[in-house]
Amino acid sequence: MTGFLNVYKAEGVSSAFVVNRIKYLAHRPCGHLGTLDPLACGVLPVGVGNATRLFDYFLGKEKEYLARFRFGKTTPTLDREGEAGGEGRVPSEEELCAALPRFVGEIDQVPPLYSAKSVNGRRGYELARAGEQFTLPPKRVTVRQFSLLERCAPDEFSFRIVCGGGTYIRSLARDLAAACGTIGYMTYLLRTRSGPFTSDMAVPLDAITRDTLQMYLIPTESVLPFPTLAEADERLFHGVTLPCAEADGMYKVYRGGSFYGLARAAGGTVKIEKKLC
């Protein structure tokens, strides 16, 4: 059994809980493609069996979110799980729209202190909960779209965000507020897309059982964004590097009509890079 499950993670459930549940049902190694905080909901793709070998090919794939930010107060966690405090002003829609372009493109972003980032072998959230003082270095992330949708409450606005992997939406809430001269935090987060996986096709965890798992399992090759190698010489499956007229890049390879794995073409040659069967 190998493939992907497009799971709709509910609020209040950890990504690890989802993976462990699928692992229990499938009796196979499993892993998720990008964690969601317990507060967040939406798309959580889970690789089952040999599909976990492909995670590197999904790193940096684009993700899409619907988020709500509250302004005028903040929390230590930068989301509603922390205790809100502080006093600040609520920016106008015009101010927010004027500030948003600063956060589109490649930007340097400081992760939240309450995060899984490692500091000298310990998680940031462990140090923060223990009251220890520390800083996290900024990291380069890519935000392709960041748009204001509507005002949800006097102090709360909703946004649509399209970004690369590793982007912290909580940090965007903090930094957007700071750009408007105030403070803020995230109150809601829905991931509507992760690479080729979308929320409208996602399956609630409680709908996945031993009897239905195979029905919801998405074939590995169907979500890989690579063309198919036109002809696969049998020698290729025995580790031989062969001449190739295809353009440089990654290709899906089939053997006897079944998906075999991935091959990389480079400099006029091709060889198997990842075997799945």
Residues 6+ apart with CB under 8 A from 4: 45, 46, 47, 48, 51, 197, 217, 218, 220, 223
Q: How far does Cα 138 stand from its chain's mean position?
A: 19
Residues 6+ apart with CB under 8 A from 241: 269, 270, 271
Active site residue 248: no
Joined tokens for residue 95: 């101010």
| Measured distance CA(122)–CA(111) in Å, rounded | 15
Catalytic residue among 37, 56, 79, 155: 37
The residues carrying an active-site annotation are 37
